[in-house]
Structures are given as structure tokens and as C-alpha cells.
């Protein structure tokens, strides 16, 4: 198939490379010329394990090209819309400017029989609106909605071998044509047994909103349990293991800690609440407000725990924050709990140094007032407290002995509950976890 991918961020760049890997001829298009130059040269503009190797491999085949001109979408049979839908400034709702702009520019390149496939996370109702506009301009083209469920850090694997495909389709012949095109695009994973669900537009859009809401709820649930554990002396990690053994609950996404961040879960639950409000169904989602509040409260709690850890006052205390990315194996710092905690500590008078294996450049752009140090040992030197806030493997592997040689006081806050409390305490550390005695 000849495919265009509009938007080459975390979603689009990976999608474009993976579609070429599946054997298609792909053009990736983005308005950011610097990004396009990087991608065309085989360099991933962000850290994503496996992507540089994949780019190199597929660029060599000649099946993948990048362009900053939307006119280059012409000739493709299937056009994937992969642009971002960030939170609007000062509001909960999603900012649809980028989707709308990309879609309207793309209209000039559409030909009869083309299929436009939305992958961006959008408010329910968007697909129907765009389908109407498409029908006005190009009655012989069709729109499908095919939400994406990839996780950063596993994006290549999640795109090539997803858990499922969801096709949001119009009824009748147009829907059949779109399904046939998508089946051809995904023929390799489909023939390997990946399930495929067909739905109407609204259901497909809601699947994505519901999936991220459920994941966020699961994390906030266990963080609420951590709050209760903290006042009862119970251990939330054992609690999670025990309830997680029930298949109906499952252990995944039950790690208590500093809460969820990133470019998806926080803004997606807010956009979902905003959209439900517009549709008069706000009551159905009031629980997501609580999910959000619990999540925000975790960050404040870590600031308070740190104050106690360093003896009651943050003023002039040297704090080393291990991790800036919103999760390991990513350089994404959007709504990163680690950075928001670091900034709050600094605001309250602490002297904060942040380290991260991949995310320092991005963090520096967002929080230039913080100090950054790439070398782990140097970052820990003379610290009054270490805060492990993003669970990179290199931080999980730190031993109490090696850290003791660097710091000035043996205080550690394990914001992701990934260290062995007994080992650290035996080595003379003042260890504090989240929701652990």
C-alpha cells in the first residue's frame, strides 16, 4: 500500500517506520522541518528503544521517506492522521487546532477511493464531524477512526504487534471499503492472529478514552490505598501483590508511587471530562476528577515526605532527584511527576539537582531554573537526600554502599517502591517508600 502519515511525533514517527517495516511505501509528513531532516537522516528526534535501528533498516529499503510538504501525501491510498491533541491552556478540553489544521491541509491531496484514518486521541464526535467535511469535498473518499494504544518505551513493539485493532467505520459500502484497506495495511499482524474489532465512530473514539481512563483509575486506586497504608502502617506493595493475584484485578498498573504523568493519561482524562460535560453526561465521569486529585496529591505528598526526611526544613538542603522523564525508557518530560516535584522542592528553598539518562535536554527546556547533572555519581555527591522518582534500571541498580560513598546524609525516598527497604536500612540508610512502613 502507499501510505502517508501526517504528524511525526511519538506516535507518527513510529507508525511511519513500522508501516514501512510491514512492507508499505510510506511518506511521513510534519510541519517541523528540523524533525523531518532528522528522520530523513535516520535519527529519531526523541528517545524510543528500537526506533533508530528500525529507521535505519527501513530507510535503506527506500520504502520510507519524510517530507515537510503536505502535497507529498498525494498518491497515497491511506492517510493516517497522527498529530497531537494537547490540553488547552487554562482548560480541561483538548486543543483540536493541530488535528483540524492537518486535516484541512490534507484535503487538497485526497483522491477518489482514498481512506483517511484518524489515530490521534480526540473528543468523541470528532470523527463524525471530519467525515462530514470529507464527504463535502471528496464524496468518493472515506474516513475511518483507528485509535492507537502504544506505550512510549514499547512503541515499536506495540505498533507491530498490538493487543488489538479497533476500526471505527461508517455504515454501508464506505465502511466495507475502509475495512478492506485497513486489513491490507495490517495484513501481517492480522494474519498472526491480532484481534480486530469493528465499531462505529463514537465507540472507536470512546474505546481510547475509556482505556486511558481505566489505566489512570487503576493507578490512582492503588495510590489511594497507599494513603491509607501510610496512616495504618500497612504495606501497599504487599497489598498490590495480593489483590493482583486475583485474575479479575491483575497486578499490572498497580504500582503505587509518585503517580501518572506524560503526554497522555493526565490530559486524556481531563479532555474526557470536558467532553462529557459538553454532552450533558458530566456526572458519569465525576470520579475522574477524584482520580486526577489523588494523582496530583501524590506529588505534594512527596514534597512533604522529603521535608521530613531532611529534618523538617527544605531550606538550603541539597536534594538529588533521580529521573526527569515521566517514566523510564522515555525522554518525554510532559507533565512529569519527577520534574514537578523537583520544581516544587526548589521553590521551597531546596537546592535541587536532577539527573536522568535521556531526558536532561528536554527537562532543561521546561525547567531551566533547576540544576542538571548527567553523571549519576556527581549528581549524588554531597546530597542531603536522594529521591528516586523515575525507575530507570540504572537507579534500581544503585547499591546502598555505592550511594553512601557519594552523599553527605544517608536519606533516600523511593518514589516508585523499587528498592529493597531492608537492604538500605541495614546499610544505615533512612529509607522512605510510598505507602510502606
**Residues with catalytic roles:** 264
Q: How far is the CB of 53 from ligand UGA (least distance, A)?
A: 20
Residue 437 burial (C-beta neighbours within 10 Å; 0-12, 13-18, 19+):
exposed
Q: How far is the CB of 2 from ligand UGA (least distance, A)?
A: 26
Q: How far is the CB of 426 from ligand UGA (least distance, A)?
A: 27
Q: Is 152 in the site for ligand UGA (CB under 6 A)?
A: yes
Q: How far is the CB of 118 from ligand UGA (least distance, A)?
A: 14
Q: Which one of residues 85, 87, 109, 212 is an interface residue with ligand UGA (CB under 6 A)?
A: 212
- Count of residues near ligand UGA by CB under 6 A: 22
- Residue range at the interface with ligand UGA (CB under 6 A); choices 31-39, 100-108, 260-268, 340-348: 260-268
Are 382 and 407 contacting, i.e. CB atoms less than 8 angstroms apart? Answer: yes
x/- letters, 105..134, toward ligand UGA (CB under 6 A): ----------------x-------------
Q: Is 264 in the site for ligand UGA (CB under 6 A)?
A: yes
Q: How far is the CB of 216 from ligand UGA (least distance, A)?
A: 8
Q: How far is the CB of 215 from ligand UGA (least distance, A)?
A: 5
DSSP class of 285: G
Q: Between residue 327 and residue 366, which ones bind ligand UGA under the rule CB under 6 A?
A: 327
Q: Which one of residues 265, 386, 403, 419 is an interface residue with ligand UGA (CB under 6 A)?
A: 265
DSSP H or E segment with residue 132: helix 126-137
Tell me how far apart the alpha carbons of residues 184 and 355 are, in angstroms, rounded to a whole number.
Answer: 45
Nearer Cβ to ligand UGA (7/257): 257
Nearer Cβ to ligand UGA (109/212): 212
Q: Is 262 in the site for ligand UGA (CB under 6 A)?
A: yes
Q: Which one of residues 6, 127, 215, 239 is an interface residue with ligand UGA (CB under 6 A)?
A: 215
Q: Which one of residues 124, 177, 178, 254 is an interface residue with ligand UGA (CB under 6 A)?
A: 254
Tell me how far apart the alpha carbons of residues 111 and 16 are, in angstroms, rounded to a whole number.
Answer: 20
DSSP letters spanning 345-362: HHHTT-EEEEE-SS-HHH
Tell me how far apart the alpha carbons of residues 269 and 18 are, in angstroms, rounded to a whole number.
Answer: 28
Phi, psi at 83, each rounded to 5° = -85, 165
Residues 6 or more apart whose Cβ sits within 8 Å of residue 247: none
Q: How far is the CB of 251 from ligand UGA (least distance, A)?
A: 9
Instruction: Give the three cell numbers for residue 203.
Output: 465507540
Instruction: Give the three cell numbers for residue 246.
Output: 486475583
Q: Is 257 in the site for ligand UGA (CB under 6 A)?
A: yes
Q: Which one of residues 18, 22, 150, 185 is an interface residue with ligand UGA (CB under 6 A)?
A: 150
Q: What is the b/e burial string over 18-29, where b = at least 16 CB atoms within 10 angstroms of the residue's CB?
A: bbbbbebbbbbb
Q: State the virtual CA torsion across 150, 109, 54, 253 in degrees, nearest 10.
A: -10
Query: How far from each other are the two terminal CA atoms of the chain, in whole angstroms?
Result: 57
Tell me how far apart the alpha carbons of residues 300 and 313 are, in angstroms, rounded to a whole number.
Answer: 15
Q: Is 395 in the site for ligand UGA (CB under 6 A)?
A: no
Q: Is 151 in the site for ligand UGA (CB under 6 A)?
A: yes
Interface with ligand UGA (CB under 6 A): 121, 148-152, 212, 215, 219, 253-255, 257, 259-262, 264-265, 268, 326-327
Amino acid at each position: 500500500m502507499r501510505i502517508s502519515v501526517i504528524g511525526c511525533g511519538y506516535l507518527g514517527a513510529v507508525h511511519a517506520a513500522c508501516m514501512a517495516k510491514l512492507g508499505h511505501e510510506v511518506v511521513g509528513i510534519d510541519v517541523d522541518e528540523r524533525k523531518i531532516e532528522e528522520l530523513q537522516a535516520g535519527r529519531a528526534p526523541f528517545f524510543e528503544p528500537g526506533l533508530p535501528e528500525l529507521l535505519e533498516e527501513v530507510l535503506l529499503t527506500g520504502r520510507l521517506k519524510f517530507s515537510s510538504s503536505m502535497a507529498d501525501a498525494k498518491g497515497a491510498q491511506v492517510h493516517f492522521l497522527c498529530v497531537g491533541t494537547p490540553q488547552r491552556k487554562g482548560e480541561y478540553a483538548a486543543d483540536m487546532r493541530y488535528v483540524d489544521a492537518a486535516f484541512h491541509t490534507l484535503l487538497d491531496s485526497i483522491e477518489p477511493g482514498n481512506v483517511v484514518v484518524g489515530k490521534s486521541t480526540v473528543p468523541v464526535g470528532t470523527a463524525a464531524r471530519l467525515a462530514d467535511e470529507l464527504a463535502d469535498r471528496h464524496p468518493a473518499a472515506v474516513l475511518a477512526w483507528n485509535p492507537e494504544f502504544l506505550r512510549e518505551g514499547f512503541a515499536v513493539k506495540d505498533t507491530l504487534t498490538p493487543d488489538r485493532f479497533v476500526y471505527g467505520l461508517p455504515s454501508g459500502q464506505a465502511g466495507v471499503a475502509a475495512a478492506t484497506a485497513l486489513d491490507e495495511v495490517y495484513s501481517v499482524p492480522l494474519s498472526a492472529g491480532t484481534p480486530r474489532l469493528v465499531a462505529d465512530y463514537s465507540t472507536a473514539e470512546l474505546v481510547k478514552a475509556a482505556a486511558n481512563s481505566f489505566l489512570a483509575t487503576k493507578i490512582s486506586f492503588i495510590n489511594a490505598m497507599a494513603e491509607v497504608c501510610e496512616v495504618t502502617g500497612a504495606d501497599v506493595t504487599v497489598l498490590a501483590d495480593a489483590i493482583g493475584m486475583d485474575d479479575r484485578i491483575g497486578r499490572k498498573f498497580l504500582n503505587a508511587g509518585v503517580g501518572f504523568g506524560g503526554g497522555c493519561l493526565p490530559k486524556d482524562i481531563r479532555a474526557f471530562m470536558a467532553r462529557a460535560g459538553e454532552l450533558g453526561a458530566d456526572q458519569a465521569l465525576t470520579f475522574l476528577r477524584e482520580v486526577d486529585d489523588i494523582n496530583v496529591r501524590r506529588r505534594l505528598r512527596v514534597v512533604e515526605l522529603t521535608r521530613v526526611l531532611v529534618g523538617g526544613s527544605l531550606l538550603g538542603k541539597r536534594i538529588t532527584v533521580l529521573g526527569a522523564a515521566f517514566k523510564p525508557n522515555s525522554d518525554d518530560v510532559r507533565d512529569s511527576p519527577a520534574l514537578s516535584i523537583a520544581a516544587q522542592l526548589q521553590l521551597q528553598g531546596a537546592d535541587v539537582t536532577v539527573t536522568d539518562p535521556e531526558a536532561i535536554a528536554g527537562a532543561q527546556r521546561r525547567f531551566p531554573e533547576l540544576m542538571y547533572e548527567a553523571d549519576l555519581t556527581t549528581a549524588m555527591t554531597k546530597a542531603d537526600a536522594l529521591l528516586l522518582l523515575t525507575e530507570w534500571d540504572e537507579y534500581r541498580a544503585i547499591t546502598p554502599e555505592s550511594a553512601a560513598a557519594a552523599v553527605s546524609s544517608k536519606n533516600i525516598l523511593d518514589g516508585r517502591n523499587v528498592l529493597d527497604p531492608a537492604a538500605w536500612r541495614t546499610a544505615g540508610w533512612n529509607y522512605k517508600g510510598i505507602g510502606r512502613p
